[in-house]
Structure 1
Amino acid sequence: MSEMTVKDFAAKVGRDVPRLLEQMKEAGLEHKAETDAVSEEDKRQLLDYLTKSHGGGDGAGAKNRITLTRKTRSRIKTGERGKTIEVQVRKKRTYVKRAEDEAPAPEPVEDAGPRQLVGDMADSRAKREAQDAEDAKDRAAERQAREEAAKAEAAAPAPAEEPAPAKLAEVPQIPVPELDQSEPSAEPPAPPKEGRSDRRTAPPKKTAAKKGRGRDDEDRGDREERRRGGAAKKAKRSERRGSRRGGSQGGGQHGFQKPTQPIVREVSIPESISVAELADKMSIKANEVIKAMFTMGAAVTINQTIDQDTAAIVVEEMGHKPKLVKDDALETEVLSGISYEGDEITRSPVVTVMGHVDHGKTSLLDYIRKAKVATGEAGGITQHIGAYHVEDEHGGVTFLDTPGHAAFTAMRARGAKATDVVILVVAADDGVMPQTIEAIEHSKAAEVPMVVAVNKIDKEGADFDRIRNELSQHGVISEDWGGDTQFVHVSAKTGEGIEELLEAIQLVSEVLELKAVPEAPGKGVVVESRLDRGRGPVATVLVQNGTLRKGDIVLAGLHYGRVRALTNELGQQVDAVGPAMPVEIQGLDGTPDAGDDFMVVADEKKAREVANFRQGKYREVRLARQQKAKLENMFSQMGQDEVAKVNIVLKADVQGSLEAIKGALEELSTGEVEVAVVSSGVGGITGTDANLALASEAIVVGFNVRADAAAREIIEREGLDLRYYSVIYQLIDEVKQAMSGMLAPEWKEEIVGVAEVRDVFRAPKIGAVAGCMVVEGSVHRNKKIRVLRDNVVIYEGELESLRRFKDDVNEVRNGMECGIGVKNYNDVQVGDKIEVFDQVKVERTL
């Protein structure tokens, strides 16, 4: 082992360097500076010296004995005039460790200091017994000191003379105390504390000293006996507490033992973890993790998040075992326990009706369902996704009716993913339109077979060859032309071709061999959701496999709940719903998004944990997206004017419409005007929405919903802008108009007139005056001008004067002469042209 310096040795034993050098000098060592080396022999020599100086020796008993010296002072009041004598006692105590209580000597510790080695020799029990013996000696010395003081007081010749110092008889193992004379103190001596034998008490007067001496001895003995009994009880209580806690053992020894080897922990590491959390899992300080990563070449902070692989390397570097845990471990555990095995049966197909606006999708479905759905829709278009189940002689069919407007592209995409067969409705007199092409793309992306229903065949102008030709350009080829797509001519008005369409659907479903396990727990997809004022959150779901029953625990997207009621498309309450059946469920804690998967789970607690985990993950992703957008736009927006915003508080009746409107509004944003949906939700407009709109200066927009009484009161009192809509066209158009009014106007320059300089005159007070001829338009005095020389602009400013002969004028027309003075410019030359221009404000639109 390498030698250490005096400075290092002093830091290890907890001593100052000058004091350590002094002790080393007394021990006979030749160390004079803090940089001198200290060997093991020097340490042993210093230890021997310190041991002897504290009462030790060379024998075996020296290691079990320690001697301490201390001073105590007390005052003795003598005479009637209050003379005070100060008594100073130097006491020397030696503590011996008995053989029967002797514990095994500790192994020598390398580089241990003298203070530590000497202190380890003292045992609590030996100290207590030695203390008792010394206290008895102190009491005897105290009694003798009082007697000597009384004799000294009696031997005093006269009060005027100064009393001679009193001498106390020698006491075994106690030096003769020093008696100092002092004047009476203004403050009375502090009263003695019970249980402290080293504090001196003032002696009583001469007449009472003899009477009270015996009683004092008896009281002191009683106190000593009580003190010993209390100490014994306290020791027993401490021993009992230590045995209960497991922290101490009998004999005054602590039960804790220093680990002999490092503790290796198994650290669970998620996909991302902060430095502070990683340090907490390893039970070490975060600074240690930061140091370890710094040595590995990575500079991190305590709150920085690191990935799973990096954290695993750090854990191994710190001597622990990493255990990689996925973030979705809980979700995987819950879902893996659900079994969908069992006897399979043939289920009904799920059909999605797609096509362009006003091509007759809802009318066609309406004829099949024998219900007038289209007549009750605002604006003649479908605003929501509708799910209906139809039973006929060919079997059951579930229809999903999706809107055809461009804003509902996302809704149609979700409908295509949840379906087995797509019916593409094309009007025979209108042909293929933009939304028809989008429907074809969604169907191909979802790899769903398609059946083309050519509608409105009874109208004039129906051209079937045109429909086949236009659809073939997008990869939809009829069976008549050698393709694999069935074309069925139908009329939603007369019902012609409806039976053939249903047969085509059944034919495609037989080819697909659709199967389901009705005994399994129900699972499927959320078609739509809304917030009903009387029933709470209501979700329209499509059961794709298993059976959904009343009372089941459902996990749907970010929400969960127990099914309180099941309602079919006819408004009837049912107890169970099988595969390929749509139904409305109540009991969720919120409105899930359309397109979210739902499933039945066994444990409500696990479902709540998974839902909370998904919500937290969703918030993290959304926050990260917002932060990324801010960072990406930070430098691009520096130095630019603030972007104007149209803040909107949006409420809709169903989740699908809400998402579609929100997406359409956000697409209207430009670099100068931005649409910000500060709040959106499903349900009526409440007072909270109105207060939020007031705070954010937003427009309140309700789509097929209305404001309650509290919200109307706030809106009327504060004068907020409230708009109700039932058709998405009107909503988007009016928002676009509002954004156009916030666009910065454009300024267009318009040349008003041009004057040519024919001569230049010099005036003493005015300067250079140009004699000009107006060659184009008119010259105005209050408009801006430019001076052109060889068609190059050399100056831009204003006119200082405009004269016609000797008169000041405001305007000079074409073909007339005038005198022009250019403000702050005197270098006008013959041949220059003075161009007069004006700036015209042009309003902009989106």
Structure 2
Amino acid sequence: MSSNTVAQFATELKMPANVLLEQLRAAGVDLKSVDDAVTDSDKAKLLESLRRAHGATEGKKITLTRRQTSEIRQADATGRSRTIQVEVRKKRVFVKRDPAELAAEQAAARAEEAAAEAVPAEAAPAPAEPVRAEPAVETAAKPVEPPVAEAPAEPVAAPAAEPQSEQPAQAEAQPEPTPAAQAEPEPQPEPQPEAAPAQAVAEPVEPAKNVSVTETEAEQARPEPVVHAQTELTSKTPAPVAQPSAPAESPKSAKAEPAAAPKTTAKPGEIRRAAAPAAPDRAREEARRAAEAEAAALREMLSRPRKVLRAPEPEPQAGALSGTLHKPAGKPATTAAPKKDAKPGAPGAKKTIKTAEVSSTWSDDSARKKPADNKPAVTTRDGWRAGGKGGRGGRNSRNQHQDRRHEQVQQEFIAREIHVPETISVADLAHKMSVKAAEVIKQLMKLGQMVTINQVLDQETAMIVVQEFGHMAIAAKLDDPEAFLDETAAVTEAEAEPRAPVVTVMGHVDHGKTSLLDYIRRAKVASGEAGGITQHIGAYHVETGRGVVTFLDTPGHEAFTAMRARGAKATDIVILVVAADDGVMPQTREAIHHAKAGGVPLVVAVNKIDKPEANPERVKQELVAEEVVPEEYGGDVPFVPVSAKTGAGIDDLLENVLLQAEILELKAPIEAPAKGLVIEARLDKGRGPVATILVQSGTLKRGDVVLAGASFGRVRAMLDENGKQIQTAGPSIPVEIQGLTEVPAAGDELMVLSDERKAREIALFRQGKFRDVKLARQQAAKLESMFDNLGEGTQTLALIVKTDVQGSQEALVSSLTKLSTDEVRVQVVHAAVGGISESDVNLAIASNAVVIGFNVRAEQSAKKLAETNGIDLRYYNIIYDAVDEVKAAMSGMLAPEKREEVIGLVEVREVYTISRIGTVAGCMVLDGVVRRDSQVRLLRNNVVQWTGHLDSLRRFKDDVKEVKSGFDCGLTLRGNNDLQLGDQLEVFEIKEIARTL
């Protein structure tokens, strides 16, 4: 009896050894450990036990129900979007076939095998070397695994294999007829084994290698049906266990092994199928049923006698093959092969029996050789060849077989986790889900979005599409390099030291903020600003007797809200300037709100106290109403009366500011990489992008690599507020830096990085992210507003805005965009920092836009191009001038208002009917005047009967243009003859009146 250990048997069955040991004990087999031997009778007991345990209790049907709920946003006919709940229900039923039907099919298949193999029963395998038992067991067990796809070919290939192998098998069988007869102790017929047993045991290698040899044969051997018969034989023959005495036997007994082995009762394949859980059994059962159905169709085509009737060419005797493709005599399992000079197209060339050794040795050559013209090439392991061209089982059948196999593969669905970034193109999304882009486009069309393959989707839409395809959508930032910044911030922690306070001066326009700063700085800044109003954030630091103070001067004009908010964000203390003669104004209230939102302490400077109409008490009362309570009223806000003109109270103001700073205990690390805030940025024609930076912590040095928003660069030059070169700047010091790649946005955070490559990577990532998000939002806005604008005659005023600094651009664009109405819309096509260039004018030509330059001028070439093409270039240096002129231009684009004005009243006193003219009314003008081109309204008993135009107007017999009050006249109406005595005609005109915004 053959035996192996529990561990080896578990490896064959691909299951844990301890689980197999428990199942063996449950079956009544007394084994102590995984190293004990397992006999064939033990395997039979295990198989019977597992069949008893699983066979009767298996369910016949499994139903899988899946429900998914999702939300989609869809626009209705009015353009408003609404949310729709979508529930998707899916139901799938798996049914297991009756074992009785399967048994009947297997019996029919065995009967056909018996009939097909009755003829070559006397043939025997070629002489082989002494065989080892264990590799044979392993090899025989391996092909039972589900991945082996040749199983369907078993009943098919046996009939086709007979005529090809008949001659060489008989030639080899002649020297040893007796062992062949002894090799069949049972009458059960089975397929002619030919080279399969020899291949399986040709070399004592590991089982996986034996399987790969069989696969190589399936690809390389020319007689394809023979190969499939051999491969199937290893999986279907009921003799996997060899005798333990095999190594000592002669070649004669070695040949008898494959045929004598049917006495074994339990097959490892059956045991493994029985031991596996129910779900894999059902899957394997379905695969086997599908394979049998294919095999039945193919068997019908291939069992026709076409190939049997072909006259085979005489093969040389076995002894004559010694000089051909055989291995040397020392190697086992050598069999016959065709002559080297055999023609590829000859029938004898097809009847080759390649062993594993020959097939693996010559596989490279055969792969390189081009197949013969009259033979179809072997495609894959699952492919097969059924004769020459033109036959019934030729290329079409093979294509049908492959099509059926592909259909089975496409039915499998694998739910994946799809990581969806903030923006993703349709093509990339399809690639992530392993579907065609056309399927994604189709799904989006069902959701109401028309997209192209390269269009960028926002994250929300992409996640809905992923869920519609049945996958799990995960909102993710997979490769965000900005995580590096958090790591850097955690590492660099230095000791904090006291720093100077940052003070922001805020207040209403023309209340004297800049003049106050001028007196403190002893410099004339206000005179340099256009119109006497501040339009930039100014940053200065002043050295006083008690220390350094950094001042930020913000604009007071209402357009600069964002700039004031930035000033409050970067500051420690706010000086609120209120004019004593003007009181609390809108921007004063806004500045109070900014300071409170930032949690910044206030110091109120009541300015212009030198004026005779100054009333500081009224200012205090108004500020108390805004919840700013002076210290003398029991609050916490210092009030300091000052005069920027005479300098009264300035020292008290600085004293209060420094007192507040001491209370706050302001500290910042000095010996650390610098961090700061972009206060202002501009594009200088000679120096490139220039940014005003307020250093908040650390020390900024010349040559540092900095990252500010989506721009980066190395600090090439550093200037203080007076334009002098400096090398370093500590906390609370404002500086201008040069060397950035582009103009950063005002309000961006600036930080110093050690690695320029990392800075470039983060900047480029931010640029791409900003561009993608902007594109996705624009696309969404277009889709939502498409129906809103349909059929409406909305006028559009296109503008291109170029300013000197980033903050002014932001304020100007915001102010101009707010001017839009339902009838005239302001569209800022392009806004940037810098002079007006030729490309700006070209863009204006393409978009029919007006170019606005704020504190900038056009290049000479741009001026000529604008004059040639009639483009309007407008220059401004005060923001409200620009806003007022754009408002006037929009007013000119408004449709004029039409008003009706009654100019006269006429009474009908006589009615005449004249042929060829119609009805003529003799009238008296009671009031006003009647003109010939006027419109009239016919009133009868003060009820309007008709409205239209006069056809003619006469006084006596003359045509006249108008008739005044108190005179009579004759008139006819255009298209109306229904006139009666006593009717009145109301004469009116429609005037067009220009509208204003």
Whether 2:944 is the aligned partner of 1:793: answer yes
In the alignment, what sits opposite 1:741? 892
Residues 541/327 of structure 1: CA separation in 2 closer, same or farther (3 Å cut): farther
Correspondences of 1:294-333 after superposition (within 5 Å): 307=460, 325-326=476-477, 329-333=480-484
In the alignment, what sits opposite 1:602? 754
Letter in 2 for 1:638: L
In the alignment, what sits opposite 2:520? 368
Residue 284 of structure 1 deviates from its aligned partner by: 6.4
Given candidates 152, 157, 161, the residue that maps to 1:66 is 161
* Secondary structure of the corresponding residue to residue 573 of structure 1: coil
Alignment check: 8 A CA contact 1:65 1:95 kept: no
What are structure 1's unaligned runs of at least 5 residues? 4-36, 70-93, 122-130, 138-193, 201-229, 242-251, 255-259
Alignment check: 8 A CA contact 1:649 1:677 kept: yes
Given candidates 398, 406, 410, the residue that maps to 2:562 is 410
Letter in 1 for 2:702: K
Residue 624 of structure 1 deviates from its aligned partner by: 4.5
Residue 549 of structure 1 deviates from its aligned partner by: 2.3
Residues 805/195 of structure 1: CA separation in 2 closer, same or farther (3 Å cut): farther
Alignment check: 8 A CA contact 1:524 1:598 kept: yes
**Identical positions, percent:** 51
Residue 98 of structure 1 deviates from its aligned partner by: 6.0
More deviation, 433-442/303-312: 303-312
In the alignment, what sits opposite 1:19? none
Residues 601/265 of structure 1: CA separation in 2 closer, same or farther (3 Å cut): farther
In the alignment, what sits opposite 2:860? 709
Letter in 2 for 1:827: D
Residue 615 of structure 1 deviates from its aligned partner by: 2.8
Q: Provide Cα deviations, 1:530-554, integer angstroms capped at 9, x if missing partner.
A: 0111221111111112222233332
Whether 2:793 is the aligned partner of 1:665: answer no
Residue 651 of structure 1 deviates from its aligned partner by: 0.7
Task: Work out the CA distance in 2 between the residues paired with 1:444 and 1:101.
Answer: 89
Output the TM-score relative to the length of structure 1.
Answer: 0.71
More deviation, 693-702/526-535: 693-702
Task: Work out the CA distance in 1 between the residues paired with 2:560 and 2:506.
Answer: 11
Correspondences of 1:449-460 after superposition (within 5 Å): 449-460=601-612
Task: Work out the CA distance in 2 between the residues paired with 1:196 and 1:328.
Answer: 61
In the alignment, what sits opposite 2:996? 845
Task: Work out the CA distance in 1 between the residues paired with 2:114 and 2:727.
Answer: 91
Letter in 2 for 1:114: A
Residue 619 of structure 1 deviates from its aligned partner by: 3.1
Residues 311/470 of structure 1: CA separation in 2 closer, same or farther (3 Å cut): closer
Given candidates 810, 814, 827, the residue that maps to 1:676 is 827
Task: Work out the CA distance in 2 between the residues paired with 1:308 and 1:693.
Answer: 34
Whether 2:522 is the aligned partner of 1:341: answer no
Residue 592 of structure 1 deviates from its aligned partner by: 1.5
Whether 2:819 is the aligned partner of 1:819: answer no
In the alignment, what sits opposite 1:359? 511
Residues 469/135 of structure 1: CA separation in 2 closer, same or farther (3 Å cut): farther
* Secondary structure of the corresponding residue to residue 475 of structure 1: coil
More deviation, 660-669/53-62: 53-62
In the alignment, what sits opposite 2:199? 101
Residues 374/582 of structure 1: CA separation in 2 closer, same or farther (3 Å cut): same
In the alignment, what sits opposite 1:575? 727
Letter in 1 for 2:620: R
Task: Work out the CA distance in 1 between the residues paired with 2:681 and 2:314.
Answer: 89
Given candidates 689, 704, 708, the residue that maps to 1:552 is 704
Given candidates 906, 915, 928, the residue that maps to 1:764 is 915
Whether 2:503 is the aligned partner of 1:503: answer no
In the alignment, what sits opposite 2:533? 381
Task: Work out the CA distance in 1 between the residues paired with 2:911 and 2:414.
Answer: 101
Residue 833 of structure 1 deviates from its aligned partner by: 0.9
Letter in 2 for 1:332: A
Residue 518 of structure 1 deviates from its aligned partner by: 1.4
Q: Provide Cα deviations, 1:429-469, integer angstroms capped at 9, x if missing partner.
A: 33323322222222222221111112222333222212212
In the alignment, what sits opposite 1:687? 838
Residue 67 of structure 1 deviates from its aligned partner by: 4.2
Whether 2:212 is the aligned partner of 1:114: answer no
Q: Provide Cα deviations, 1:283-308, integer angstroms capped at 9, x if missing partner.
A: 567899999999xx999999776659
Residues 780/702 of structure 1: CA separation in 2 closer, same or farther (3 Å cut): same
In the alignment, what sits opposite 2:933? 782
Residues 691/67 of structure 1: CA separation in 2 closer, same or farther (3 Å cut): same
Correspondences of 1:234-313 after superposition (within 5 Å): 235-236=363-364, 268-270=419-421, 277=428, 280-281=431-432, 307=460
Residue 399 of structure 1 deviates from its aligned partner by: 0.7
* Secondary structure of the corresponding residue to residue 398 of structure 1: strand
Task: Work out the CA distance in 2 between the residues paired with 1:536 and 1:817.
Answer: 82
Q: Provide Cα deviations, 1:31-70, integer angstroms capped at 9, x if missing partner.
A: xxxxxx986634763676489669975688795971469x
More deviation, 599-608/650-659: 599-608
Given candidates 103, 108, 126, the residue that maps to 1:45 is 108
Given candidates 803, 810, 823, the residue that maps to 1:652 is 803
* Secondary structure of the corresponding residue to residue 818 of structure 1: strand
Letter in 2 for 1:45: A
More deviation, 602-611/741-750: 602-611
Task: Work out the CA distance in 1 between the residues paired with 2:106 and 2:688.
Answer: 83
Residues 51/331 of structure 1: CA separation in 2 closer, same or farther (3 Å cut): farther
In the alignment, what sits opposite 2:680? 528
In the alignment, what sits opposite 2:24? none
In the alignment, what sits opposite 1:78? none
In the alignment, what sits opposite 1:512? 664
Task: Work out the CA distance in 1 between the residues paired with 2:676 and 2:949.
Answer: 76
Task: Work out the CA distance in 1 between the residues paired with 2:442 and 2:118.
Answer: 48
Q: Provide Cα deviations, 1:340-363, integer angstroms capped at 9, x if missing partner.
A: 422111111110011122222112
Task: Work out the CA distance in 2 between the residues paired with 1:661 and 1:479.
Answer: 39
Task: Work out the CA distance in 1 between the residues paired with 2:117 and 2:981.
Answer: 116
Output the TM-score relative to the length of structure 2.
Answer: 0.61
Residue 373 of structure 1 deviates from its aligned partner by: 1.6
More deviation, 267-276/731-740: 267-276
Alignment check: 8 A CA contact 1:56 1:63 kept: no
Q: Provide Cα deviations, 1:648-670, integer angstroms capped at 9, x if missing partner.
A: 21111100011111111112222
Alignment check: 8 A CA contact 2:458 2:773 kept: no
Residue 512 of structure 1 deviates from its aligned partner by: 1.4
Task: Work out the CA distance in 1 between the residues paired with 2:977 and 2:510.
Answer: 73
Residues 495/513 of structure 1: CA separation in 2 closer, same or farther (3 Å cut): same
More deviation, 326-335/355-364: 326-335
The structure whose residues are more often helix, as a share, is 2
Residue 253 of structure 1 deviates from its aligned partner by: 9.3
Residue 486 of structure 1 deviates from its aligned partner by: 0.6
Task: Work out the CA distance in 2 between the residues paired with 1:315 and 1:838.
Answer: 63
Letter in 1 for 2:798: N
Task: Work out the CA distance in 1 between the residues paired with 2:830 and 2:601.
Answer: 39
Whether 2:591 is the aligned partner of 1:439: answer yes
Given candidates 465, 477, 485, the residue that maps to 2:629 is 477
Residue 275 of structure 1 deviates from its aligned partner by: 7.9
Given candidates 689, 693, 697, the residue that maps to 2:848 is 697
Residues 825/518 of structure 1: CA separation in 2 closer, same or farther (3 Å cut): same
* Secondary structure of the corresponding residue to residue 199 of structure 2: coil
Task: Work out the CA distance in 1 between the residues paired with 2:468 and 2:769.
Answer: 25
Given candidates 721, 738, 742, the residue that maps to 1:590 is 742
Residue 528 of structure 1 deviates from its aligned partner by: 0.3
In the alignment, what sits opposite 1:638? 790
* Secondary structure of the corresponding residue to residue 623 of structure 2: helix
Task: Work out the CA distance in 1 between the residues paired with 2:676 and 2:576.
Answer: 24
Residue 734 of structure 1 deviates from its aligned partner by: 1.9
More deviation, 805-814/753-762: 805-814
Alignment check: 8 A CA contact 2:420 2:462 kept: no
Letter in 2 for 1:717: T
Residue 587 of structure 1 deviates from its aligned partner by: 2.1
Residue 423 of structure 1 deviates from its aligned partner by: 0.6
